[in-house]
Amino acid sequence: MNSVAPPETAKPVTRSALPRVGVLLVNLGTPDTADAPGVRVYLKEFLSDARVIEDQGLIWKVVLNGIILRSRPRTKALDYQKIWNNEQNESPLKTITRSQAVKLAAALADRDHVVVDWAMRYGNPSIKAGIDALIAKGCERILAVPLYPQYSASTSATVCDEVFRVLAQLRNQPTLRVTPPYYEDSAYIEALATSIEAHLATLSFKPELIVASFHGMPKAYVDKGDPYRQHCIATTEALRRRLGMDETKLLLTFQSRFGNDEWLQPYTDKTMERLAKEGVRRIAVVTPGFSADCLETLEEIAQENAEIFKHNGGEQFSAIPCLNDSDPGMDVIRTLVLRELQGWI
């Protein structure tokens, strides 16, 4: 009688034997220096992206190089200087994104085959530098994490474009995943609500209403099929439900318009003017489309729009910080990353 050999017992996979996995947090970007030359380099890269300005024809190139890049860097540099992290000589966006990466790495420290890094879509550190660093550390798989809660072609998609461009130059490509938008994820909505409630509790006044201001976009982009506006609406509606507010107490607006085309409305600055003229005296503004404080939140909202509101009769204005690297903010990033790493770790 022939004997049958017992099946081999599978050996447990040790952590050191697992393939290394890279996680790359990516935010929009920032100039390297708060002066006209630094802003000019940044704006040229940003505004030369066909995802940001879709018509990159001859007329736009003349306008960009002959007008915008000659005048705008000086004025924007002054804005950056108002919010610059002078201690580290960098923008707050860079400081915060680095901290988010450091804290995420600490949260995943028990998984020693996971490596966390960070990058900017425009400026430095570049996405190429981030991917190269992860590959150099032995990462065979990479999870790209665009830090934009709401999807748009001009933010989330252009991160993917750049990641794909980098990978296209590699013979031995790592396996890639990209996290999806999280505009109505329960962890994100809860973190937003918690941060709003915590901030309001610190104020010496009670806002009559809250404005949720999202970065704007040309209306034509949405008309062509970009889902961004609908994602912003979904975020605002979910936040209203969580906070027990209706559309009269939590308003949706869009900021940061550029050029002469029609952008998504209502405009944040025009809303500030209107509310003040209608008799609203106390207001708070939250910016749910930004995962980290930056020029658009610290200068445009907290300074420019506060001035517009007060100039037209408003009295008390408070800008609610972004989630940044706060505990609620890191809970969102960690939850998103661990969900998308399933099967890899």
Are the C-beta atoms of residues 198 and 217 closer than 8 Å to each other?
no
Identify the pLDDT of residue 17. Answer: 63
Helix (H) or strand (E) holding 127: helix 127-136
Instruction: Judge whether 204 lies within some domain.
Output: yes
Predicted confidence (pLDDT) per residue in 60-73, tens digit: 999 999 999 999 99
Q: What is the mean pLDDT of residues 191-213?
A: 98
Instruction: Judge whether 298 lies within some domain.
Output: yes
If asked whether residues 236 and 170 sit together in one domain, one would say no
Identify the pLDDT of residue 16. Answer: 52
Residue 7 pLDDT > 60: no
Instruction: Judge whether 155 lies within some domain.
Output: yes
Residue type, 194: T
Which position has the higher pLDDT, 9 or 263? 263
If asked whether residues 298 and 223 sit together in one domain, one would say yes
If asked whether residues 30 and 177 sit together in one domain, one would say yes
Instruction: Judge whether 220 lies within some domain.
Output: yes
Identify the pLDDT of residue 18. Answer: 76
If asked whether residues 92 and 25 sit together in one domain, one would say yes
If asked whether residues 193 and 172 sit together in one domain, one would say no
If asked whether residues 162 and 295 sit together in one domain, one would say no
If asked whether residues 157 and 235 sit together in one domain, one would say no
Residue 9 pLDDT > 90: no
Number of domains in the chain: 2
Give CA–CA dist 38/254, Å, rounded.
27
Residue 1 pLDDT > 50: no
Identify the pLDDT of residue 19. Answer: 84
Identify the pLDDT of residue 10. Answer: 46
Identify the pLDDT of residue 142. Answer: 98
If asked whether residues 94 and 44 sit together in one domain, one would say yes
The fraction of the chain above a pLDDT of 70, given in percent, is 95
If asked whether residues 203 and 289 sit together in one domain, one would say yes
Tokens for 54, please give them: 């879709």
If asked whether residues 27 and 48 sit together in one domain, one would say yes
Instruction: Judge whether 193 lies within some domain.
Output: yes
If asked whether residues 163 and 24 sit together in one domain, one would say yes
Instruction: Judge whether 12 lies within some domain.
Output: no
Predicted confidence (pLDDT) per residue in 263-316, tens digit: 999 999 999 999 999 999 999 999 999 999 999 999 999 999 999 999 999 999
Question: Which range marks the domain in which residue 172 is found?
Answer: 19-181+327-340
The answer for 227, left when phi > 0, alpha when psi is -120 to 50, beta otherwise, is: alpha
The residue whose two tokens read 């540099």 is 77
Instruction: Judge whether 6 lies within some domain.
Output: no
Residue 89 pLDDT > 50: yes
The DSSP output letter for 208 is S
If asked whether residues 163 and 135 sit together in one domain, one would say yes
Instruction: Judge whether 8 lies within some domain.
Output: no
List the CATH number of the domain containing 194.
Answer: 3.40.50.1400
**Which string of DSSP letters, residue by residue, matches 30-56?**
E-SSSSHHHHHHHHHHHHT-TTTSS--
Mean model confidence pLDDT for the chain: 95
